[in-house]
Amino acid sequence: MTISNIYKIRGKETDYIRESEFDIDIDFGIYKRQDQVKLPQANESQVVRHFTRLSTLNFGLDTGFYPLGSCTMKYNPKLNEKLASLVQFTDLHPYQSTDDTQGAMELMFKLAEFLRDISGLEAVSLIPAAGAHGESTGLKLIDAYHKANGGFRKTIIIPDTAHGTNPASSTMTGHEVISVKSSPEGIVKYEDIEPLINENTAAFMVTNPNTLGIFEQDMKRIAEKLHSVGALLYCDGANTNAWMGKLNMGELGVDVLQYNLHKTFSTPHGGGGPGSGPIAVSSRLIDFLPSPVIIKDGTKYEFYTPSKSIGKIKTFYGNFLVMIKAFAYLLSLGKDGVNNVSSIAVLNANYIRKRLEPYYFLPYNTDSMHEVVFTDKYQSEYGITTMDIAKRLLDYGIHAPTVYFPLVVKGAIMIEPTETESLTELDNFCDVMIKISQEAKENPELLRNAPHNTPIRRANEAKAAKDLILREENVF
Amino acid sequence: MSYIPHTPEDLNKILSTIGIPNIDALFRSFGEKGAVFPHGALHTNRLSEKEVEDILNSLANKNIVYKPKNIFLGAGVYSHYIPSALESIVSRQEFYTAYTPYQPELSQGTLRAVFEFQTAISELLRQDIVNASMYDGATASAEAILMAYKKFRERKKTVLLAETLHFEYKAVIENYLTSYGINIRYIPSNDGIISLNAVKQLYNEDVFALLIQYPNFFGIIEENIRDILDFTSSKDIKSISLTIDGTVLPLLTAPGTLGFDISVLEIQSFGNPMAYGGPHAGVIATSKDLLRNLPGRIVGKTEDVNGQEAFVLTLSTREQHIRREKATSNICTNQALVALRTIVYLSLMGRKGLETVAKNSYKNAHYLAKLLTENKITLYFPTKKFYNEFLIKTQKAKYLVAELKKYGILAGYPLEEGLLVATTELNTKDSIENYIELLLRAGL
Shortest distance, CA B131 to any CA of chain A (angstroms): 9
Q: How far is B203 from chain A (nearest CA, A)?
A: 25
pLDDT digits (tens, 9 = 90+) for A280-292: 999 999 999 999 9
Mutate which of A7, A13, A16, A299 to disrupt the B interface (most B C-beta within 10 Å)? A16
Q: How confident is the model at residue B31 (pLDDT cuts 50, 70, 90)?
A: confident
**Measured at the alpha carbon of residue A205, what is the angle toward residues A202 and A209, in degrees to the nearest 5?**
155
Is residue A474 over pLDDT 80? no
Task: Give which of A8, A9, A17 to mutate to test B binding, by max B Cβ within 10 Å.
Answer: A17
Work out the angle between the directed axes of helices A320-356 and B49-60 (0-180°, nearest 10). Answer: 150
pLDDT tens, residue by residue, A180-218: 999 999 999 999 999 999 999 999 999 999 999 999 999
Strands A293-297 and A300-304: antiparallel
* Rounded Cα distance, B244 and B408, in Å: 26
Instruction: Determine the 3-state secondary structure of B304 from DSSP.
Output: strand
pLDDT at A67 over 80: yes
Q: What is the mean pLDDT of residues B313-337?
A: 89
Closest C-alpha to A289, from A266, A267, A318: A318
CB-CB contact of A385 with A395 (8 Å): no
Q: What is the pLDDT at residue A77?
A: 98
| Nearest beta carbon to residue A394 from set B105, B129, B344 | B105
Angle at A45 between CA A43 and CA A51, to 5 degrees: 100
- For residue B2, what pLDDT is reported? 87
CB-based contact B38 A100, cutoff 8 Å: no
Q: Is the pLDDT of residue A476 over 70?
A: no
- DSSP assignment of B65-84 equals ---GGGB---TT-------H
A54 touches chain B (CB under 8 A): yes
Interface of A with B in 425-444 (CB under 8 A): none
Q: Per-residue pLDDT tens for A353-384?
A: 999 999 999 999 999 999 999 999 999 999 99
In chain A, which among 369-388 make CB contacts under 8 A with chain B?
A: 369
What order of strands is seen across the sheet that includes strand B207-213? B129-130, B282-286, B262-266, B238-243, B207-213, B158-162, B183-187
The residue of chain A with its CA nearest to that of B277 is: A94
Cα–Cα distance, A404 to A374 (Å, whole number): 10
Amino acid at A42: A
**Is any Cβ of chain A less than 8 angstroms from the Cβ of B319?**
yes
Going by pLDDT thresholds of 50, 70 and 90, the confidence category of residue A14 is very high
DSSP string, B313-351: E--GGGSHHHHGGGSS----S--HHHHHHHHHHHHHHHH
Mean pLDDT rounded to a whole number for chain B: 96
Cβ-Cβ pairs closer than 8 A, A with B, add up to 672
User: What's the pLDDT at B325?
Assistant: 87
Split at pLDDT 50, 70, 90, the class of B414 is: very high
Instruction: Spell out the residues 6+ positions from residue A357 whose beta carbon is closer than 8 angstroms to its own.
Output: none
Q: How far apart are CA A394 and CA A408, in angstroms?
A: 25
- Average pLDDT over all residues of chain A: 97
CB contact under 8 A, A355 and B62: no
| Interchain CB contact of A315 with B (< 8 Å) | yes
When pLDDT is cut at 50, 70 and 90, the band that residue A1 belongs to is low
What does the pLDDT average to over B355-360? Answer: 98
**Pairing, β A201-207 against β A155-159:** parallel
Work out the number of other CB atoms within 10 angstroms of the CB of residue B22: 9
Chain A nearest C-alpha distance from B71 (Å): 9
Of B136, B249, B347, the CB nearest to A37: B249
Q: Is the pLDDT of residue B52 over 90?
A: yes
Amino acid B257: pLDDT: 98
What residues 214-233 of chain B have any CB closer than 8 A to a CB of chain A?
A: 221, 223, 225-226
Q: Would you say residue B116 has pLDDT above 80?
A: yes
Contact between B203 and B175 (Cβ < 8 Å) = no
Question: Would you say B19 and A207 are in contact if contact means Cβ atoms under 8 Å apart?
Answer: no
Query: Which of residues 6 through 25 in chain A touch B, CB cutoff 8 A?
Result: 6-7, 13-22, 24
Show which of residues 181-210 on chain A sit within 8 Å of chain B, judged by CB atoms: none
3-state helix, strand, coil in chain A (%, to 5): 40, 15, 50
Put simply, whether B333 touches A (Cβ < 8 Å) is: yes
Residue B110 confidence class, pLDDT cut points 50, 70, 90: very high
What is the mean predicted confidence (pLDDT) over B277-294?
A: 96
B5-17 pLDDT per residue, tens: 999 999 999 999 9
Tell me the pLDDT tens digit for each residue of B209-230.
999 999 999 999 999 999 999 9
- B22 in reach of chain A (CB within 8 A): no
What ipTM was estimated for this complex? 0.98
* Phi, psi (rounded to 5 degrees) for A182: -85, 155
Closest Cβ–Cβ partner in A140, A168, A463 for B329: A168
Q: By the CB < 8 Å criterion, does A156 face chain B?
A: no
pLDDT at B192: 97
Q: Whole-angstrom Cα distance, residue B315 to residue A58?
A: 22
Poorest-pLDDT segment among A153-167, B322-336, B417-431? B322-336
* Average pLDDT of the segment spanning A168-174: 94
Q: pTM of the full predicted structure?
A: 0.98
Whether A388 shows a pLDDT value over 70: the answer reads yes
| Cα separation, B270 vs B117, whole angstroms | 11
Q: For residue A404, what is the DSSP state?
A: S
Inform me whether the C-beta atom of residue A179 falls under 8 Å from chain B C-beta atoms: no
Is the pLDDT at A413 greater than 80? The verdict is yes
Residue numbers in B near A339 (CB within 8 A): 36
pLDDT of residue A411: 97
Task: Work out the minimum CA distance from B251 to partner chain A, whole angstroms.
Answer: 5
- Count of CA atoms in the C-beta half-sphere (13 A) of B149: 25
B62 vs A: CB within 8 A: yes
Residue A25: HSE in the Cβ half-sphere, 13 Å Cα cutoff: 4
Cβ within 8 Å of B, A 93-132: 93-97, 99-104, 106-107, 110, 113-114, 116-118, 120, 129-132
* The pLDDT of residue B322 is above 90: no
